[in-house]
Structure 1
Amino acid sequence: MPEQLPWGAPCSDESSISGPTALNALLVGAGITTWRRKHSRLSSLMRSGGASEGLAGLAGACAMKSATANMPPAACWALPEVVAGRGYPIESHFVTTADGYILNLFRIPHGLHTDPVRARPVVLLQHALLESSFSYVSNSPWQSLGYILADAGYDVWFGNNRGNRYSTNHTHLSISSTKFWDFSWDEMARYDLPAEIDYVLARTGVARLAYVGHSQGTIQAFAGFSRNRTLAERVGVFVALAPIAYNRHIGGLWGRLGRHLGVMKLFWRLGLRSVLTSRSMVSSLAPSIYRLIPGVTSGVINWVCGPTVHLNISRGPVIVGHTPAGTSAKNMVHWEQAAHNQAFSMFDYGSASANLERYNMSTPPKYILGDMNVPTALFLGENDPLSTAADVGQLLDELHHDVVFKVETVPTYGHVDFTWAADAHENLYPQVLSAIQSRML
């Protein structure tokens, strides 16, 4: 049996949540868990055996850590606990990809004051690099896109790519094996995206869904939708937040380390396989570091992802309790390659012979953006060094002119502001809802 890992850290500050509510895990069907409020507290859940021993141990460790470090307990809660604590219905689903990875999807089937019975349009939200589905519920309900969509009448699903803290299981590979980490965003596009979309459509009975991706959630969509016409036909609209296909003009820390130094390629060749997982020391210490020295942590975020004046600093310990959420070193190398190469290509194995063995050609195949036919809205950040105007311009040049129906630049936004900004509900999300409604309602 593969090694079973618990959920990593997850969500909201105790001042705005009515405690680590009651969360009793109830199996409703194969691979489906519904989290409900008004049951026993987490300790009772652990005694009853309703949660895994790993989750119980993690919860206990986090509670002790929160107490000793004076941290918000939510810095260690799993996403279902956070969402249920807000009073929203929350479900946990598991889907197995064609190559055996077991992905954990979450679902808010309806909002607080909407009819739970009536049919509603479906939205799938996909996270950025080193993040998880938590990013879409990282702030208060009126500020977070996941809650806003649910309250606007949507059936909201949250994806988690292979290797992040919620998707660390496989049908036969252990997370400690090298083979488990042998993936990049190529596999997320080829396997994760179709598995998630097919599962969501089968569960809801709708023919098409709206897809919202942030950063890596966009590159896997551009790759997946351009190569898989059948998949693309199941998507009514694609909203790309901080869109990336080309990355030649990347700035900030990623630009320096990736484009100029190739740091991850070096580490990968030396045997590094996973990066910043929830088990890592950086992930474990991040909330406490932020609590003690918030200016330093904010500075790191600005250095890596671009300057921002839109974050709620008091949310910092909770946000960094969930981020970084982990990925593979190979995935990071693929991102470095995107910064080096002019082409939007699959993973380059470094030599003609290695590529021949993998692809039956000496260079990695290119993704042809002109083959993508999903109606698309693009939202850029004015101060985003990772999704730059120059690179998005090249993306636009290659997409078919009938595909893109909206391009908007959000003033002063950096890369993380699309999901973490405290004012995104004013500056961005109304336009996102409008874009979705224009194609789905």
Structure 2
Amino acid sequence: MSTIFKVFFVIVNYLINKPLNFISHPDAGLPIDEFLGKYGYPLERHTVVTEDGYLLTAHRIPHGKHSNGTNRYPVLCIHGTGGVGEMFLFPGYGKGIGWYLADRDFDIWLLNTRGNYHSRKHRKWNPDKDPEFWNFSWHEVGVYDLPAAIDHILTVTNKSKLFYVGHSQGSTVYLVLTTQRPEYNDKIALGVNLAPSAFIGDNNYLLMELVGKHRLLFKSVMKGIGFHEVLPFNLNRLVRTLMRFVCSEINVFVDVCNIVFNFPDNTHQVDPATFQLIFSYVPAGCSLKQLNHYLQIVESNSFALYDYGRRENKKYYGQVKPPIYNLENITAPTAYFYGTHDVITKPEGIAKLISKTKNIEVYKIEQGFNHVDFLFSKNVIEIVNKPLYSMMKKYVVNID
């Protein structure tokens, strides 16, 4: 049964047979300080300044609910495209990676990378007026945001290494960092990549395939009409408000959104009650150039730097094609967690990534996990958090 038909069937069934009830998540709409404080967790706000002038907000959870002193092992958590640091607190209190690790002696740092609503600041450019602010892809996140955050965290904590946990684009930028700034390999005790997104040209997600084939047209049209940011700030806020209503309050729409979130196999990893919490924080904003860089990978099926076109590539790189990221430069202990039902990061792409990197651990999840389930699943404790924690414990000896 096609997804569109399932959506139609659910709507008709509710309209005929069931009343329109309303549900509400108890933590929906809470700012992160109130969200954490409600359950007895501390929060610190830090500003991280990058080499190219971006001012990034990092939210720190220095210890868990039942501790007073700062935890021993710093962890840098990096969200995906259009995401926000709060995603590591999904699917709610006591379940998300942030809560789970904070209660087990890990010092949690939730970085908000350039362009999301927590990090729309620059020493020179105004994100609402200056298109130069948005002239970045995830390459710049890996080359500038991550080194600045790592150095800041190690200085504050007086450590020589930290743990890294990235989801989706958070894994992409990890690969950029460790290949383009190889000196940072020595500052990572273990880099954990959830749904690692590098070789995604093998996916069969129709929309990505279609837009990927026409990415240059997409790029030209967006540039022509003056779009540089995905969902400008006020529109972004409106979308979050609308989605909280559509996907979270009226039960007929909850089931429709459930089908979409659990695409393609409807394994129902995401609890519908979580939707209202999710849309309190995402989408959070990103640049069009970030999306275009991913579309380039879909089209070429190669993990390469940004393609500016033959003439501009010659100026930037000294060659007509963008260079390939040299994954052999990665020397930090690295782990890949992937789901067999992920329509974006498919097992074929994971196999290619594994074949090109060394010093790795691989954790395969077969319980119907798709791309977002690593953070959103109602079963995240058993399927992700516990094996993640067990793996990280083996490397705590590297933290001094």
Same-fold status (TM-score > 0.5): yes
Relative contact order higher in (CA < 8 Å, ≥ 6 apart)? 2
- Name the structure 2 match of 1:122: 74
Q: How many residues align?
A: 368
* Among candidates 264, 279, 282, match of residue 323 of structure 1: 282
CA distance in 2, matches of 1:279, 1:77: 18
> How far off is 1:287 after superposition?
0.8
> How far off is 1:306 after superposition?
7.1
> How far off is 1:358 after superposition?
2.4
- Name the structure 2 match of 1:269: 223
CA distance in 2, matches of 1:246, 1:372: 16
* SS in structure 1 at match of 2:274: helix
Aligned 8 A contact 1:111 1:153 in 2: yes
> How far off is 1:205 after superposition?
0.5
- Name the structure 1 match of 2:163: 210
- Name the structure 2 match of 1:48: none
User: Once the two structures are superposed, what CA deviation does each residue of 1:356-384 show, in whole Å capped at 9, x if it has no partner?
Assistant: 22223222122100110011111111211
CA distance in 1, matches of 2:23, 2:123: 39
CA distance in 2, matches of 1:308, 1:254: 21
- Name the structure 2 match of 1:25: none
> How far off is 1:392 after superposition?
0.7
> Does structure 1 residue 289 correspond to structure 2 residue 241?
no
Aligned 8 A contact 1:80 1:92 in 2: no
> Does structure 1 residue 133 correspond to structure 2 residue 133?
no
CA distance in 2, matches of 1:323, 1:75: 12
Aligned 8 A contact 1:71 1:287 in 2: no
- Name the structure 2 match of 1:346: 305
* SS in structure 2 at match of 1:407: strand
- Name the structure 2 match of 1:438: 394
- Name the structure 1 match of 2:144: 191
* Among candidates 58, 72, 85, match of residue 105 of structure 1: 58
Aligned 8 A contact 1:353 1:362 in 2: yes
Aligned 8 A contact 1:99 1:191 in 2: yes
Aligned 8 A contact 2:25 2:274 in 1: no
Aligned 8 A contact 1:252 1:385 in 2: yes
CA distance in 1, matches of 2:276, 2:223: 34
* SS in structure 2 at match of 1:315: helix
* SS in structure 1 at match of 2:193: strand
> How far off is 1:435 after superposition?
1.2
Aligned 8 A contact 2:209 2:299 in 1: no
Equivalent residue letter for 1:269: K
State the TM-score, normalized to the length of structure 2: 0.87
CA distance in 1, matches of 2:80, 2:99: 18
Task: Return 206-215 or 313-322, whichever deviates more.
Answer: 313-322
CA distance in 1, matches of 2:375, 2:169: 13
User: Once the two structures are superposed, what CA deviation does each residue of 1:419-441 show, in whole Å capped at 9, x if it has no partner?
Assistant: 01111101121100011111124
CA distance in 2, matches of 1:135, 1:264: 29
* SS in structure 2 at match of 1:169: coil
> How far off is 1:344 after superposition?
1.1
CA distance in 2, matches of 1:178, 1:308: 41
CA distance in 2, matches of 1:261, 1:283: 28
Query: Using a 3 Å threshold, how does the CA distance of structure 1 residues 285 and 253 change in structure 2: closer, same or farther?
Result: farther
CA distance in 2, matches of 1:326, 1:173: 17
User: Once the two structures are superposed, what CA deviation does each residue of 1:230-285 show, in whole Å capped at 9, x if it has no partner?
Assistant: 21110010111001111111233552443344374354333321113552243331
Equivalent residue letter for 2:382: E
> Does structure 1 residue 157 correspond to structure 2 residue 109?
yes
CA distance in 1, matches of 2:222, 2:148: 28
Task: Return 274-283 or 315-324, whichever deviates more.
Answer: 274-283
CA distance in 2, matches of 1:109, 1:183: 31
Aligned 8 A contact 1:161 1:188 in 2: yes
Among the aligned pairs, what percent are the same residue? Answer: 29
Query: Using a 3 Å threshold, how does the CA distance of structure 1 residues 394 and 181 change in structure 2: closer, same or farther?
Result: same
Aligned 8 A contact 2:70 2:107 in 1: no
> How far off is 1:128 after superposition?
1.1
Unaligned runs of 5+ residues in structure 1 are 1-68
> Does structure 1 residue 380 correspond to structure 2 residue 338?
yes
> How far off is 1:144 after superposition?
0.9
* SS in structure 2 at match of 1:201: helix
Query: Using a 3 Å threshold, how does the CA distance of structure 1 residues 201 and 338 change in structure 2: closer, same or farther?
Result: same
- Name the structure 1 match of 2:178: 225
Unaligned runs of 5+ residues in structure 2 are 1-21
Aligned 8 A contact 1:124 1:210 in 2: yes
- Name the structure 2 match of 1:301: 261
* SS in structure 1 at match of 2:234: coil
CA distance in 2, matches of 1:93, 1:320: 24
Query: Using a 3 Å threshold, how does the CA distance of structure 1 residues 92 and 385 change in structure 2: closer, same or farther?
Result: same
